[in-house]
Amino acid sequence: MNRKLTLTTVVIAVITSLFMFSCGPGNGASADETGSGAPAAPAADKPAAASTANEKGLGKFTDVKLTSPLDQNMVSQGKSIFDVKCSSCHKLTDEKLVGPGWKGVTDRRKPEWIMNFVTNTDEMIDKDPNAQALLEKCMVRMPNQHLTDDDARHILEFMRNNDGKK
């Protein structure tokens, strides 16, 4: 009986630890963060005005063409990806869960930055000042979700829809 209880306790502790390290400590506080975390310092949540590179992040996306009206097929596919890979850490409101809420992210970040962040997560966190500020705020690295370029574009369209873009 004691061995069963000890094994159960260890399994629960391991699962809890994995969850905490992968998703981090969310405090449920409301914040005006971007898609993957937000900075504590004022103005750090906004793209750096000093350079276009900072506004677009680091990665292959340098010129993302947006559709108008929104491509509802991409929105639907983006929602499916959000439900599977993003919703455990992000809400669609401005409320912080583990990572920041997504409401307003497309107003605060350029499409290229968002797509570079979700497809080039590790390099962005290591080298992009805006992503580093987000890490300081959330205190948890966003895990690389291994999104394809198409996945990233669908997520972006879903974010635009969430922000009321037409």
Question: pLDDT (tens digit, 9 = 90+) per residue, 58-108?
Answer: 999 999 999 899 999 999 999 999 999 999 999 999 999 999 999 999 999
Tell whether 60 is covered by a domain: yes
Cα three-residue angle 48-49-55, rounded to 5 degrees:
55
Does residue 56 lie in a domain region?
yes
158 in Cβ contact with 164 (< 8 Å): no
What 3-state class would DSSP assign to 164? coil
Considering the domain boundaries, does residue 3 fall inside one?
no
Cβ 86 vs Cβ 127: under 8 Å: no
pLDDT at 28 over 60: no
Provide the domain count of the chain.
Answer: 1
The CATH number for 65's domain is 1.10.760.10
In this prediction, residue 54 has a pLDDT band, given cuts at 50, 70 and 90, of confident
**pLDDT of 1:** 53
Q: How many angstroms separate the CA atoms of 82 and 11, rounded?
A: 28
Q: 50 lies in a domain?
A: yes
pLDDT of residue 12: 53
- Residue range of the domain that includes 90: 27-162
In a domain, 73, yes or no: yes
Instruction: Give domain status of residue 89, yes or no.
Output: yes
Share of the chain above pLDDT 90, in %: 63
pLDDT at 145: 95
Q: What is the mean pLDDT of the chain?
A: 78
* 104 is a domain residue: yes
Whether residue 33 lies inside any domain: the answer is yes
